[in-house]
Amino acid sequence: MSNDTLTVEIWRGQEEGRFDTFQVPRMASQTVLDIVTYVQRNLDPGLSYRFACRVGVCGSCAMTVNGKPRWTCRTHVDKVADEGVLRIQPLKNLPVIRDLAVDMTDFFEKWTKAKAHFVPTETRHDEFAQVSPDDAKRKEASAGIECINCGVCYSACDTVAWLGDYLGPAALNRSWTLVNDARDGGQTERLKAVAGVGGCQSCHSHQSCFELCPKHLNPTASIAGLKRATVKAALKGDI
């Protein structure tokens, strides 16, 4: 370590607020979540933040670190603290409850609006569906299903910031996995849900979502797929 302590600026308040500055001792293999935890336990118990697993599988600890949305439990301080300064803010594009905790309601409501949920066609009395893992559509679906809804892509998306209705990369990516699910029975309604105002056509392929997704998913490619699917459906008269 080149320095003993790190200067950390942390957002306090809601949309209106201020940055509080703390001096935090540096340690080996320290993550940004370690920093926030240290501040709350030793310097200011009033700091609000979220976490759960601490090991990069739940997505709860996402925050804006030096301008970029990241999982704080998987962000090593060495990688992001230029000149010994760290600036930590809540995720963008979502209302701030307090300090570093944001209200994820809009994020999940858009998941519903995008009809990004499975519509079954069979019952427990039917045989299992036979879907080959080599099937092209299944591969498309499998490429996108590991999303844990952490909100990093939504927070990074400029179109979400500019167009309040925009469903966003996570919801649209999830929808695309279901468009490719051979067992699903809600295809037409789903394509209607992802076309139109706030739909897939609003994406400008900035690819900030793809750049920043900690699970290396590709919402830009999924949304491109939705664009093709909705146009095909419109030309056929289905939407």
Partner 1 sequence: MTPQRAETLEWLVQRASAAVLAICVIVHLAVIVLAVQGGVTAKEIAGRVGGSIPWLMFYSVFIIAVALHAPAGLRNILREYTPLGRRATHWVMAAVCALILVMGFRAVIGLYGLGA
Partner 2 sequence: MKTHRNHANYWAFVLHRLSGVALLLFLPAHFYVLGLAVERSADMDAFLSWTEAPVVKLLETGLVILLAAHMTGGLRILAIEFLAWRDWQKSVVAVTGGLSVAAGLLFLLNAG
**Residue of 39, 63, 102, 156 that binds partner 2 (CB under 8 A):** 156
Binding site for partner 1 (CB under 8 A): 159, 162-163, 192, 195-197, 199, 201-202, 204, 227, 230-231, 233-235, 239
Q: Which is nearer to partner 2, 30 or 89 (CB)?
A: 89
SS (H, E, C) 128-172: CCCCCCCCHHHHHHHHHCCCCCCCHHHHHCHHHHHCCCCCCHHHH
Kind and range of the H or E run holding 211: helix 208-212
Q: What's the CA gap between 81 and 65, in Å, rounded?
A: 9
Q: How far is the CB of 221 from partner 2 (least distance, A)?
A: 4
Q: How far is the CB of 227 from partner 2 (least distance, A)?
A: 5
Within 81-120, the residues that bind partner 2 by CB under 8 A are 87
Of these partners, partner 1, partner 2, none, which one is at the site of residue 159 (CB under 5 to 8 Å by kind)? Answer: partner 1
Residues with Cβ within 8 Å of 131's Cβ and at least 6 positions away in sequence, in order, are 138, 182, 183
**Residue of 44, 109, 211, 238 that binds partner 2 (CB under 8 A):** 211
Q: Which is nearer to partner 1, 79 or 204 (CB)?
A: 204
Of these partners, partner 2, partner 1, none, which one is at the site of residue 97 (CB under 5 to 8 Å by kind)? Answer: none
Angle at 133 between CA 130 and CA 139, to 5 degrees: 120
Of these partners, partner 2, partner 1, none, which one is at the site of residue 239 (CB under 5 to 8 Å by kind)? Answer: partner 1
Q: What's the CA gap between 71 and 239, in Å, rounded?
A: 38
Q: Which is nearer to partner 2, 37 or 62 (CB)?
A: 62
**78 lies in the binding site for partner 2 (CB under 8 A):** no
Helix axis angle for 219-236 and 169-179, nearest 10°, is 60
Instruction: Give the largest Cα separation in the chain, rounded.
Output: 66
Q: How far is the CB of 127 from partner 2 (least distance, A)?
A: 33
Q: How far is the CB of 231 from partner 1 (least distance, A)?
A: 5
DSSP-assigned letter for residue 106: H
Are the C-beta atoms of 36 and 100 separated by less than 8 Å? yes
Q: How far is the CB of 140 from partner 2 (least distance, A)?
A: 10
Angle at 222 between CA 172 and CA 109, to 5 degrees: 10
Q: How far is the CB of 159 from partner 1 (least distance, A)?
A: 7
**158 lies in the binding site for partner 2 (CB under 8 A):** yes
**Residue of 68, 98, 138, 183 that binds partner 2 (CB under 8 A):** 68
- As separate numbers, helices (DSSP H) first and strands (DSSP E) second, the chain gives 10, 7
Using DSSP's 3-state secondary structure scheme, residue 196 falls into coil
Binding site for partner 2 (CB under 8 A): 66-69, 87, 155-156, 158, 204-208, 211-212, 218, 220-221, 224, 227-228
